[in-house]
Amino acid sequence: MVRRMTTVFASRNIGVAEIQIVIGDIAEQPDMDAVVNSASSKLLSGSGVSAAIFRAAGVELANACGGIAPISVSDAVITPGFLLPNCYIVHCCGPQYKKDSDPQGKLASCYRNTLEIASQNKITALAIPAISTGAYGFPIEEATQICITTIKEESPAFGSLKLIRFVVRDEAIAKVYEHHLLQTVPLPDKAVRVAFDAQQFTLEQFQRIRNGFIGDQDNKWFEYFEEPWLYIYRGSRWVGQCWWFLKFEPSGDGYKMVEAWVDDESLKWSREKYSQFIYQVIDTYLPGGSRNDEPNRIIMDEIASYCVLRRGDVDLVLNSSSISLADMKELGMRLIVLADSLAQSSGR
């Protein structure tokens, strides 16, 4: 069989993954661990993407799908790839634009569930079609915006994923994807450029920065990397306000921060000097930080905030609100699981 060379229409690094846009056939992506089928709830062969995948995978796919159907709108399930050159097929049922309630929310859930099942199965390279934009009638512009926005929101939780490829049918759709993928968060009109001492990061430290971070409701920080910018939100990515814009570029054997901007609205909240706060953000809020004695994992919830230090100790801070006995028992069980995980990872 002749293998076609993959031509990338556009690409960008978001978090730890490269995001590609490719014009082609979803069933002809041999370098991907898994491909996504834009499936019906009954997991039957349909038209477009679904027909191409079922045709290429062979009759065993229909037999496997019959054993797990039906699925609900937004659900994602996984099967082997069978005769496809891919190990897995992730089947996700997209919403019908004029039939299902809240089609926008359901489409976002499609992508979240697909990314989650890919992470659970240690998939590193995933090819995704334009879900629901065919027979299900979702307008391509609206669907693409939801798709790219969800990818950015979920980037701190990518896990094993290192390559996400959006496979579209023609150049017109590719240009819509390109527009949303390459779009940057604009600097506010009153953004202030911050003077700071240039800080060099090793590749390992920069990898932690690229991972991003999702805080809890008390911490109220959301950070994600979209090359070359690290965006730092007060509040979540979808309802919060971006305060900080930190730009990175390769330098020697690592990376350095070359620009730092802050929204002057943050003056109402921050009592620190801008330059000091930059280092506080990098060293405290980002997992791993740039100092060796900083936490490398931060776990926060409504009951408590605790972080795992590099030496394996757990620093626990209970919230000021009252805690029931049931909540305390639940926290204790989570800490036991965490301790077991640390012991296994350190070989003790």
- Average pLDDT for 228-257: 86
Confidence of residue 268 (pLDDT cuts 50, 70, 90): low
- Average pLDDT for 329-335: 70
- Average pLDDT for 9-27: 96
- Average pLDDT for 41-56: 91
Is the pLDDT at 148 greater than 90? The verdict is yes
> What does the pLDDT read at residue 328?
66
Residue pLDDT, tens place only, 128-142: 999 999 999 999 999
> What does the pLDDT read at residue 4?
54
Is the pLDDT at 217 greater than 60? The verdict is no
CB contact at 8 A, 92 and 114: yes
- Average pLDDT for 32-38: 97
Per cent of the chain over pLDDT 90 is: 53
Extents of the domains making up the chain: 8-182, 191-285, 297-346
Bridge partners for 68 per DSSP: none
Amino acid at 196: F
Lowest mean pLDDT among 31-35, 37-41, 94-98, 329-333: 329-333
Residue pLDDT, tens place only, 58-80: 999 999 999 999 999 999 999 99
- Average pLDDT for 313-334: 60
> What does the pLDDT read at residue 333?
74
Report the mean per-residue pLDDT for the chain.
Answer: 82
Is the pLDDT at 342 greater than 80? The verdict is no
> What does the pLDDT read at residue 2?
41
Is the pLDDT at 265 greater than 70? The verdict is yes
Whether pTM exceeds 0.75: yes
> What does the pLDDT read at residue 291?
40
> What does the pLDDT read at residue 216?
63
Is the pLDDT at 331 greater than 80? The verdict is no
**Fold of the CATH domain 8-182:** Leucine Aminopeptidase, subunit E; domain 1 (3.40.220)
φ, ψ dihedrals at 235, nearest 5°: 100, 180
Confidence of residue 212 (pLDDT cuts 50, 70, 90): confident
Give residue 49's Cα distance to chain centre: 24
> What does the pLDDT read at residue 233?
86
Is the pLDDT at 94 greater than 50? The verdict is yes
Is the pLDDT at 257 greater than 70? The verdict is yes
